Amino acid sequence: MKTRRVSLDRIASSTRNAALGREVLVGEEIVCREGYVLAVEILFDKAVYNQVEGVDGRMIPLRKGDVLAGVLGSRRALRGYAGRVPERLVPGDVVNVLNLGGVLGECTAANPDLGRPFDARVLGAVLDFPRIGHRVGVPAHIRKGAIPAAEKLECRTPLVLVAGTCMNSGKTVAASEIIRGLSRAGLKVGAVKLTGVSLRRDTLSMEDAGAAPALSFTDAGVVSTREEDVLPAARGLLNHLEREARPDVIVAELGDGILGEYGVQVLLEDEGIRALRAALVVCAPDQVGAWGAWKVLEERFATRPDVISGPATDNDVGTSFIRKELGLPAANARRDPEGLTALVREAMHGGN
């Protein structure tokens, strides 16, 4: 296999498990499956959605000519790009940057607010050398050093689940404020993001709020969660958190929406997850979203939210509707984080 040395200008956070340096060797043989690491060259400048998250969590501008290390993956975002892994790639082919975490693929649907996604010319597969001193590299994958999936849930730590009706519905803000409140109350809080597409931003926010530690599915070697693999990855992450951190409670954010395509439904239906649930917080953008979440959870999952949060509770109009019409507690994470935490603690102590 022909190889060449490439100097990277940007190393996306999605590649973090692969522990890349600035200088890498790339090969011509590309494995077109999720999780494999590519080096690509950005082909034009953009005015919006024009950054990538580095491995340290900082947002860095992407410019024409930048050489980026990213990861092949899919995305199915309502308010972002949708895309898939191409069936075949060779150096010189063009892929798209599908998210801020540096996920690479073929864009199948764009968002008018974000404009056209970056085009990027494939330079080759970044090579890993798993055996010290070995001169033959293999295509790098983010499974390297990943937390292993598990077929059995051994974790017994109570879970506070934070779900939403869609992306950008306030889940991370709510999760972070709950973590902050529970930590200040003297609890040791672990955190995990169990579904979505690779990006460190949300787990970093949870760490800043006091989680020790905060993990995501990417730590389990997953780029974008799907129904068929979300549960083993989630079990592995929860088992690892309990074993390594010994938290009193785990706050688990379920990225995307209850009816999205990232496997949230699988987790809500799983008996092991349900048995650990100490509270379920649902974030909604408006009254209709809150009502729809209540109905879907009741009719499809035979459960109900313990608390409603998100933009639907930004003022008393939505909060009053939720309390009077749905008979559910409601609190806003930004206006009343103490009230939100108090409702979560009440649900934790009251059981389900």
Neighbours of 246 (CB within 10 A): 10
Give the end of a domain, one of 139, 171, 201.
139
How wide is the angle at C-alpha 44 spanned by C-alphas 38 and 48, nearest 5°? 100
Domain hosting 340: range is 159-350
Query: Are 174 and 133 within one domain?
Result: no
236, part of any domain: yes
Domain annotation covers residue 150: no
Residues 309 and 218 in one domain: yes
**Whole-number Å distance between alpha carbons of 256 and 243:** 27
Structure tokens of 169? 């519905």
Flag whether the pTM goes above 0.85: yes
Q: How many domains does the chain have?
A: 2
Tokens of 228: 């068929």
Nearest by Cα to 184 from 338, 6, 350, 30: 338
Residue 42 lies inside a defined structural domain of this protein: yes
Q: Mean pLDDT, consecutive 10-residue segments, the chain of 352 residues?
A: 92 97 96 98 96 97 98 92 97 98 97 93 94 77 96 98 94 98 98 97 97 97 95 98 98 94 96 98 97 97 97 96 97 97 95 46
**29-to-11, 91, 327 alpha-carbon distances in Å:** 21, 8, 58
In a domain, 263, yes or no: yes
pLDDT for position 352: 44
pLDDT, residue 138, reads 93
**CATH number for the domain harbouring residue 318:** 3.40.50.300
